[in-house]
Amino acid sequence: MAEISRKIRVLIADDHPMLRDGVAAVINGRSDMEVVGEAENGRQAVEMYASLRPDVTLMDLQMPGIGGVEAIEAIRRGNPSAQIVVLTTYSGDAQALQALKAGASAYLLKSAMRSDLVDAIRTVHAGRRHVQAEVAQGMAEHATEDPLNARELQVLRLIAAGNANKEIAAKLSLAEDTVKAHIRNIFAKLYVTDRTHAVTTAARRGIIEL
């Protein structure tokens, strides 16, 4: 008698119950996979991974407490071979790159077709990577650009919070001229010409969170 293949065991981590229910229905409707657990935040995802040892984990990025990237890093520290698929609404290239560097094997948008999700799970379980086409295109478009450094990110986040140059200088213990120089560098790296555009571009690409 032929041996029955073991199903791909999947853990879902997302803070929206309806999303988890929908994804679980898609997965459980396939003969070769099953949902073995559902986590509603990053900390729970790390704990459930340790206890359940799923074959593939679906991970949202924006969750209360520990976010998706931090959870990916925590899981991979203890389990370097963990297979994690990011399932998110955020298509930003910077956020995708951050997740992949943290150890994710795939990056998929929640707007993807059901078949794409199933294919991504099977691909990752087989030991390969999977990045949705539009996300991969965004990463390729910005691959040769200089990333913002730590100080520029600090300045940009303070700009996003509505601080004027003088306030930013005071908060970071910098000269106002130094802040202006950082802002010029930010504009050049993001290919923008004003503060509002810098903030919206950085948010869209996942460089900062609003």
According to the model, what pLDDT value does residue 1 have? 39
According to the model, what pLDDT value does residue 207 have? 86
According to the model, what pLDDT value does residue 137 have? 85
Fold match between domain 8-140 and domain 150-205: no
According to the model, what pLDDT value does residue 145 have? 79
Are 5 and 32 spatial neighbours (Cβ–Cβ below 8 Å)? yes
Q: What b/e readout covers 27-53, taking b as 16+ CB neighbours within 10 angstroms?
A: beebeebbbbbbbbbbbbbbebbeeee
Instruction: Give the model confidence (pLDDT) of 69-81 as tens digits.
Output: 999 999 999 899 9
159 closest CA partner among 201, 119, 107, 130 = 201
Contacts of 57 (CB under 8 A, 6+ apart): 10, 11, 12, 13, 45, 49, 75, 82, 83, 84, 85
According to the model, what pLDDT value does residue 53 have? 96
Total residues belonging to the chain = 210
State the architecture of 150-205 in CATH terms.
Orthogonal Bundle (1.10)
According to the model, what pLDDT value does residue 4 have? 52
121 closest CA partner among 209, 52, 24 = 24
According to the model, what pLDDT value does residue 95 have? 86
According to the model, what pLDDT value does residue 5 have? 64
Q: Could you say which of 3.40.50.10150, 3.40.50.2300, 2.60.34.30, 3.30.70.1880 is the CATH number of the domain covering 8-140?
A: 3.40.50.2300
Domain boundaries, the chain: 8-140, 150-205
Distance CA(10)–CA(170), nearest Å, equals: 49
According to the model, what pLDDT value does residue 3 have? 45
According to the model, what pLDDT value does residue 30 have? 94
Which ranges of the chain have pLDDT less than 50? 1-3
Bridge partner list, 83:
56
